[in-house]
Amino acid sequence: MPFLNVEIKARCNNPENIRQYLLTNHAEFKGVDEQSDTYFNVSHGRLKLREGNIENNLIYYERSNQPGPKNSQFNLVKLEDAKGLKEVLAKSNGVKVVVRKKREIYYISNVKFHIDQVNGLGSFVEIEAGNVFIDRSPKELKDQCDFYMQEFAIRPEDLVENSYSDLLMEKVI
């Protein structure tokens, strides 16, 4: 079943300020996840296998590259055997890139927050207002995303339009 996130990614020079804001506002801290996202070659969209100590999922998503809040249509499958699936997908599709990161995960209601330290790229914050746990319209999700961007004092020049996979591949070229 596809779901919708309205999300942003931004460079983050003040992870401690964001962490304090989340804790002060009673965000639910899910933990710190050491994640490895393996992106596979696909004809359209993005397909990644996330392996971590908190999250282990196969995720397919379609999202335009643009700064600011953007819609992301996604399907998510929870996994029991990530290693076996990774082997099959690597053989059948080929690996595009692997993203490794340390991710702090927080929730306030239906909004998920990530404070990420991405190997080779630096510090980022992500805001994902989603309809997975609650029925919200795309406009309501965008309003939530806009609200937290303002609360975190995210400037337009901080916004990142591409995925971590794209940023890493651009760095290699």
Position 87 pLDDT exceeds 70: yes
Enter the pTM of the model: 0.90
> CA–CA separation, 1 vs 132, rounded Å?
10
| CATH superfamily name and code, 3-172 | Hypothetical Protein Pfu-838710-001 (2.40.320.10)
Q: Can you give the residue ranges of every domain in the chain?
A: 3-172
- pLDDT, tens digit, for every residue of 28-51? 999 999 999 999 999 999 999 999
pLDDT confidence of 134, banded at 50, 70, 90? confident
Q: Exposed, middle or buried: residue 153 (CB in 10 Å: 0-12, 13-18, 19+)?
A: exposed
> CA–CA separation, 161 vs 130, rounded Å?
18
